[in-house]
Chain A
Amino acid sequence: MVEAVEAFTIVLAVATLYGWRPAALGAAAGFGLLAGSILLLGPMLALVPIAGLQLTIGILLLLFGMGWLRKASLRAAGPIPLHDENAVFATETDRIGAAARRDRRLSWIAGLAALKAIVLEGLEVVFIVLAISAGRGLLLPAGIGAAAACVLVLTVGAMLRRPLSRVPENALKFGVGVMLSAFGTFWIGEALGIAWPGADLVLFPLAALFLIAGLIAAALARRAAVEGAA
């Protein structure tokens, strides 16, 4: 959902300058590319031996989840500015508007900008869908869940016709970072043959550990930043 909000902001900038047709066409093409990559890669992952798959996906999930958690903690603490959809919209409108002033007919470039936004923001969604569903036969429900979130965001956004700046992006990213980090740690442990106490249920204490670590990190980073500035 977070990525859909960010992609929508750019699609909206395109639609504002060039109309909804190129924006919608570019966005639809982007969705097609992402869906195609999921449909192509999902079944291929099922052919990989489960231990190797768990280790690889686990490491990637941990790196990705910790990256989100780190950034969300720093945004909550202050050193990194919060993602401001209104500011992104203004910047993108200026950037695309400069091209529009040069040539009003370049609507295909506008469509390409929408496609690029969807593909770049959607890469993370594709990774999460593939990683969560890999080796467990969950590709369809994971894909439907992601698609539903995207459709919801785009529908609400198209109705409002303004950036979805009220969505608490940082809190969402923080939560997703916690979950992905816990999943990644669990899967790495499974691949290494660690007998987690409580089996799958250990995901809850693992998530709690990452949540607490993120909150402590944000509080201490804020204090460190204030002391550094003093």
Chain B
Amino acid sequence: MTMLRDIAAELIGMFLGDRGLALALLVVISAAALVSGVGEAGSVLAGALLALGCPLLLIENVIRAGRRSKPLHTRSAGVGSASETP
């Protein structure tokens, strides 16, 4: 039973790890779905909403999370520079 509970928690965490971000993404997708049916202009607007809205949501969410926490280390920022080796 514990394992099944862990699997369920893992599955939920996979898609709803940050519920605020997930909810915001679903709002953007819903908005894109709404406008996509309004002719050719609606389709273009829906594409722009998805292509620009999702990356902007990511930036906003990550900055907000950064504000809420303190830095754990003082190395220079960079994805590739992150070294897991001690």
Interface residues of A (CB under 8 A from B): 59-60, 62-64, 66-67, 69-86, 112, 116, 119-120, 123-124, 127, 165-171, 174, 181, 185, 188-189, 192-196, 205-206, 209-210, 212-229
Q: Which residues of B contact A210 (CB under 8 A)?
A: 54-55, 58
Q: Which residues of A contact B83 (CB under 8 A)?
A: 82, 168
Given that A63-B15, A192-B32, A222-B77 are contacting pairs, would A217 and B70 also be in contact in the complex, using a CB cutoff of 8 Å? Answer: no
Across the interface, do A123 and B86 meet the contact criterion of CB distance under 8 Å?
no
How many interface residues does chain B have, given as a range?
A: 35 or more
Q: List 9 A-B contacts (CB under 8 A).
A: A63-B16, A63-B22, A66-B25, A77-B62, A84-B84, A84-B86, A213-B59, A215-B79, A228-B69
Q: Work out how many contacts link A and B, with CB atoms closer than 8 A.
A: 192
Interface residues of B (CB under 8 A from A): 3, 6-7, 10-11, 14-18, 21-22, 25-26, 29, 32-33, 36, 43, 46-47, 50-52, 54-59, 61-63, 65-75, 77-86
Q: Which 5 A-B pairs have the closest CB atoms?
A: A221-B66, A213-B55, A217-B62, A78-B71, A79-B69
- Interface of A, secondary structure class, is helix
B58 and chain A: residue at smallest CB distance:
A213
Choose one: B36, B47, B65; the contact of A74 (CB below 8 Å).
Answer: B65
Across the interface, do A214 and B58 meet the contact criterion of CB distance under 8 Å?
yes
Given that A165-B86, A188-B32, A225-B66 are contacting pairs, would A69 and B22 also be in contact in the complex, using a CB cutoff of 8 Å? Answer: no
